[in-house]
Amino acid sequence: EDQVTQSPEALRLQEGESSSLNCSYTVSGLRGLFWYRQDPGKGPEFLFTLYSAGEEKEKERLKATLTKKESFLHITAPKPEDSATYLCAVQEGDRDYGGATNKLIFGTGTLLAVQP
């Protein structure tokens, strides 16, 4: 069964204290892995897409990496405004309707709190 597991469930950091969030997955064929940020009362906001093992992407203090079994979201010198829930999702590699299926399987998220 396809599954996405995120850890830890919650993480509290001091401002400037770097850390990593983990997303491990089991899926029959990975087409893409997505990271989203979600603020309270808002919809998920897209951060990164990773397609193949070894790929890395960066945006400000965030860096996402991908292996064949997991992805990491590294947060370098976080600031209080980085506080949010970070969601990981995988897109299956089955192809139908003339292209890739868009179905996403989400993890339960990591709630990050960065204290000043």
Partner 1 sequence: NAGVTQTPKFQVLKTGQSMTLQCAQDMNHEYMSWYRQDPGMGLRLIHYSVGAGITDQGEVPNGYNVSRSTTEDFPLRLLSAAPSQTSVYFCASSRPGDTQYFGPGTRLTVL
95-to-8, 34, 48, 53 alpha-carbon distances in Å: 32, 18, 22, 20
Shortest approach of partner 1 to residue 109 CB, angstroms? Answer: 7
Pick between residue 76 and residue 111 the one whose CB is nearest to partner 1. Answer: 111
DSSP strand pairing (10-14 vs 110-115): parallel
Residues that bind partner 1 (CB under 8 A): 4, 31-32, 34, 36, 41-46, 49, 87, 89, 91, 97-104, 106-109
The nearer residue to partner 1, 14 or 97, going by C-beta atoms, is: 97
Residue number, 44 or 78, with CB nearest to partner 1 = 44
Taking the complex as a whole, how short is the minimal distance between the CB of residue 23 and partner 1, in angstroms?
12
AA letter at 10: A
Residues in the chain: 116
Q: Least distance (Å) from partner 1 to the CB of residue 57? A: 12
Q: Please answer whether residues 19 and 75 qualify as being in contact, where contact means their C-beta atoms are separated by less than 8 angstroms.
A: yes
